[in-house]
Structure 1
Amino acid sequence: MSSGKTIAFFPEAAFGPALNCVGIAQELRKMGHNPVFICDKGFSGVFAEYGFEEYPVNMSGDMSDEDVAKYWDNFIAQHLPHFKYSPLKQVEAYVAPVWDAIVDSAICAEPDLQMQLAKIKPDLICVDNVILFPAIKKAGCPWVRIISCSENEVTDPMVPPHLSGCSQGDYEGYKAFEAEFERCVAASHNRFNAFLKQQGEAPYPMGEFFEVSPTMNFLLYPKPLAFKRETPLSEDQFTYLEGCVRDEGVYEVPSFPAEYQDKPLIYVAFGSLGDSDVELYQRMLAAFANMPYRFLMKVGEDLSPYNKPANVHLQGWYPQPAVVPHADLFIHHGGNNSFNEALYFGKPAIIMPYCWDGHDNATRIEDTGYGRKLPRYDWTEQQLAKAIDDCLTNQSIQAKLPPLKEHMQKAQGGEKAAQVINEILNR
């Protein structure tokens, strides 16, 4: 073990990447290192709750915290109808505007990021994001890329394009999605390349916004579900973490009425973005009321729009890694934390995606036989009930999960990442 080193984590301003980084940082702290977090100012306090020092950066220009919150509330409200679109149709309607905002944030963050890195003087940087921040490469220390999104964020001709929701081998689908993606993000990409040139970095090929680290790249993805590749990923440069589950303590399942107390327990969570979809949640609750199961459902801070059936427990937020072990089934949106945590604890999943790599993970869970993909909106109560029953009783699904659970838990992703980082620091 090396003497304590300073490792700067810089996750995207989203809870999935942020909490994955917490899991790795917790393990590094146990080893005697000093993990710190660089974060968007809107995420200040998230990492301090876990006992980590924070260094905020401004990724929102002159907007106040209140203005930023309003901006994103309006952004989601504007795009909520687009979650009903296919992945291909979402490219112009939703994906391209998101990339435009991501480019804005990278340009805005650069001065603060350079300043904070000069202050921290890290021995190593871990960045979990979808776009390059030039300051990371200029910091004078090794940097590790953490890929929290689907494994297909690392491209290969045989692998479905990221965000496409294509099955492996659907090459016509690949071609159509890639052409539409490059058309729709061209303006944002050209603006980003101009910024890279200004910072002394080489431009990226059309459609690319990041690169793999020359030192190490962590894939949160479980290797047994990995895509077949024309060029296999080198073990010297890529490490599958098989999930990275943070410690959220112990969770006690609430009591339900006697007639439901021994029924299967189903956990339902669609991420913070999904909590804006009140109409969908109301529809799901009406369906759950007619089903012979217990439900734990995350709905966001405002519980007032919902009529809670007797067999449903509603909460604004759950300590997910502590909850999933109790569940018999996990219904989620396909975010990478939820995708990995269901499999890590040996639970079948129904993925109802609305955007981004949720489409990829939903297709992958169906294609590999570890759960079911269900349209987010175009479903009947009978179809939802059938998918739930299938996941709970299908012998093929149930037989595949325990070996995968054993494989992922044996890997101990957070500890594995910390050990690799420690080895890099000792070189």
Structure 2
Amino acid sequence: MSKPSYRILITSLEALGHINATIGFGEMLSSHGHEVIFVQRQKYKGLADSRGFKFIPLDEEILGAVFENAVSDWVDTNMETFRADPLTRIKNMTEQDKKNMALNEESFVKLDLALTKVLHENPGAFDAIAADACDVVNCLFNSGLPVIPLMSGNPKLLYKGGPPAASGLSINDDPKIWDEFAEIYQEAFKEMQNVFNKLLKKGGRKEYYYGNTWVLPLRHFGFYQYPSDLDYSECEPKHDEKWFRVDSYVRSADDTNDFELPESLSKKSGKLIYLSLGTLGSNDLLVMRKLINAASKSSHRFIISKGSRGDQLELADNMCGENYLNQIKVIQMVDLVITHGGNNTFMETLYYGKPMIVVPYFFDQFDNAQRVVDKKIGFRVNPYDLDEDYFLDCIEKALSDQEMQNRVKAISQNMKNSKRQLQAVKMIENLIEEFKSK
């Protein structure tokens, strides 16, 4: 008897970190014989087509410009707030800062309306839904289908013990500092939590957001990706034990937007280094220029992901770059990755066995940066007090430390050999079968 194939809708908040992780999760499902239906804005159709996914576009008239600009507008509004360490940021936040930090409620309302339309126009078309960063999108959870939340960020927020999530504090720090951060953080982000609770209430759901907890209680189970070698076992238990770790569901490289090293750079000596601050960090041109200026003094070569404002950046002779790069292919080419520590780039870098320097800019990036230090697989460089000599010294040490490189390669091999993907797919299959038997 052949194994049944199920139809699974995958979607996420419109931000590349969430989208790329969701695509990787979809590839995992597809590789086990299931039909994946990717629901997102029309401009992401190529991501589905190149992977053999079915694609359903969200209604652009519903989403409009307010949704498309929500993240970049939010970064610009809070730029000065972001240029400080996490504790200083939240200590110095004014009441207006706290209001600014709250994500745009209208964006989530529009996403809910657009996804509601997809569900209504495709009755009976899906057997389950997997969604990243869509906890407050009520139509998914009120659809009557099994919904599987995905968590594409650093998993520290899933654990009760240890330093608070988004603090960038070490497991070795004084717990008194943990407590101080947690108390101030809760007050600083109260406005954002109020927005989320308001959305839940509007959908007839319980208002669950409180304190430093940014994920809802699970109906069934949820998945996050993080290597077993780095997961926070010393901070157990989890807030909800139904969160299941998959060591990796890193997406494959896109066939479009290929990248070749320019001849002018390939002829130069030195190791090859990739530098990317992701969607959020690359919008901060002050920080980008500081890093580019420091890297120009290195004897090594750099590939720079310049971001949406890259046309305003000038690169040095030991660099090449584009606004948007085929990141997976670039990571495989280089000897070292300098990253903002967003969980996608973090996971991709580990999967391909590269040491890293993390320049954290926001939220869970601080936790990944500190995890790199605590596990001795790279270095942390803070953008708000960037010291050029220290930055350049970290580059040299990361490229020459063989023990560090061996640790990273071991993590990479364990990620690739893990059986957790197979277990995750089986869990989903069993859940769908259970729903169908009712």
Q: Which TM-score tier does this pair reach, normalised by the shorter chain?
A: 0.7 to 0.9
Paired residue secondary structure (2:179): helix
Q: 2:132 is matched by which residue type in structure 1?
A: D
Instruction: Give yes or no for the alignment of 1:396 onto 2:403.
Output: yes
Aligned counterpart in structure 2 of residue 222 of structure 1, from 215, 218, 227: 227
| Structure-2 residue corresponding to 1:8 | 9
Partner Cα distance (1:57, 1:178) in 2: 39
Per-residue deviation at 1:295? 0.8
Q: Which 5+ residue runs of structure 1 have no aligned equivalent?
A: none
| Structure-2 residue corresponding to 1:185 | 189
Q: 1:356 to 1:97 in 2, by over 3 A?
A: farther
Partner Cα distance (2:10, 2:324) in 1: 24
Per-residue deviation at 1:34? 2.2
8 A Cα contact 1:20 1:337, kept in partner: yes
Deviations 1:207-250 (CA, angstroms, capped at 9, x unpaired) = 34531433222111112111113326888x33322222211157
Paired residue secondary structure (1:180): helix
| Structure-1 residue corresponding to 2:163 | 160
State the Cα RMSD in Å.
Answer: 3.0
Aligned counterpart in structure 1 of residue 354 of structure 2, from 335, 347, 354: 347
Paired residue secondary structure (2:385): coil
Partner Cα distance (1:31, 1:126) in 2: 15
Instruction: Give yes or no for the alignment of 1:386 onto 2:393.
Output: yes
Q: Give the total of aligned pairs.
A: 421
Deviations 1:122-147 (CA, angstroms, capped at 9, x unpaired) = 21111111643232222212221111
Q: 1:137 to 1:302 in 2, by over 3 A?
A: closer
| Structure-1 residue corresponding to 2:296 | 289
- Residues 258-407 of structure 1: pairs in structure 2 closer than 5 A: 261-407=268-414
- Residues 91-130 of structure 1: pairs in structure 2 closer than 5 A: 91=90, 92=93, 96-97=98-99, 100-101=102-103, 103-120=105-122, 121=124, 122-129=126-133
Paired residue secondary structure (1:116): helix
Partner Cα distance (2:131, 2:263) in 1: 42
Partner Cα distance (2:302, 2:191) in 1: 45
Q: 1:162 is matched by which residue type in structure 2?
A: A
Per-residue deviation at 1:159? 3.2
The TM-score normalised by the length of structure 1 is 0.87
| Structure-2 residue corresponding to 1:38 | 39
Per-residue deviation at 1:322? 1.6
Partner Cα distance (1:168, 1:187) in 2: 28
The TM-score normalised by the length of structure 2 is 0.85
Q: Which 5+ residue runs of structure 2 have no aligned equivalent?
A: none
Aligned counterpart in structure 2 of residue 53 of structure 1, from 52, 55, 65: 55
8 A Cα contact 1:298 1:318, kept in partner: yes
Partner Cα distance (1:129, 1:13) in 2: 9
8 A Cα contact 1:13 1:43, kept in partner: no
Q: 1:90 to 1:97 in 2, by over 3 A?
A: farther
Q: 1:279 to 1:198 in 2, by over 3 A?
A: closer
Paired residue secondary structure (2:321): strand
Q: 1:159 is matched by which residue type in structure 2?
A: G
Q: 1:75 is matched by which residue type in structure 2?
A: W
8 A Cα contact 2:197 2:208, kept in partner: yes
Q: 1:225 is matched by which residue type in structure 2?
A: L
Per-residue deviation at 1:319? 1.3
Per-residue deviation at 1:404? 0.7
| Structure-2 residue corresponding to 1:64 | 64
Per-residue deviation at 1:55? 3.9
Per-residue deviation at 1:22? 1.0
| Structure-2 residue corresponding to 1:76 | 75
Partner Cα distance (1:346, 1:70) in 2: 35
Deviations 1:149-191 (CA, angstroms, capped at 9, x unpaired) = 01112131x1322211121254222222222222123344345
Q: 1:118 to 1:411 in 2, by over 3 A?
A: farther
Per-residue deviation at 1:262? 4.5
Per-residue deviation at 1:83? 2.0
8 A Cα contact 1:220 1:244, kept in partner: yes
Q: 1:363 is matched by which residue type in structure 2?
A: Q
Partner Cα distance (2:284, 2:230) in 1: 30
Partner Cα distance (1:71, 1:359) in 2: 22
Indicate the percent of aligned positions where both proteins have the same amino acid: 22
8 A Cα contact 2:151 2:223, kept in partner: yes
Deviations 1:345-404 (CA, angstroms, capped at 9, x unpaired) = 111110011111111111111111111001113123211110101111123312311211
8 A Cα contact 1:167 1:364, kept in partner: yes
Q: 1:54 to 1:105 in 2, by over 3 A?
A: same
Partner Cα distance (1:131, 1:105) in 2: 14
Partner Cα distance (1:62, 1:424) in 2: 32
Instruction: Give yes or no for the alignment of 1:425 onto 2:432.
Output: yes
Partner Cα distance (2:364, 2:349) in 1: 16
8 A Cα contact 2:265 2:301, kept in partner: no
Q: 1:68 to 1:139 in 2, by over 3 A?
A: closer
Partner Cα distance (1:414, 1:254) in 2: 34
Paired residue secondary structure (2:56): strand
Q: 1:72 to 1:217 in 2, by over 3 A?
A: closer
8 A Cα contact 1:300 1:316, kept in partner: yes
Partner Cα distance (1:340, 1:213) in 2: 24
Partner Cα distance (2:132, 2:100) in 1: 17
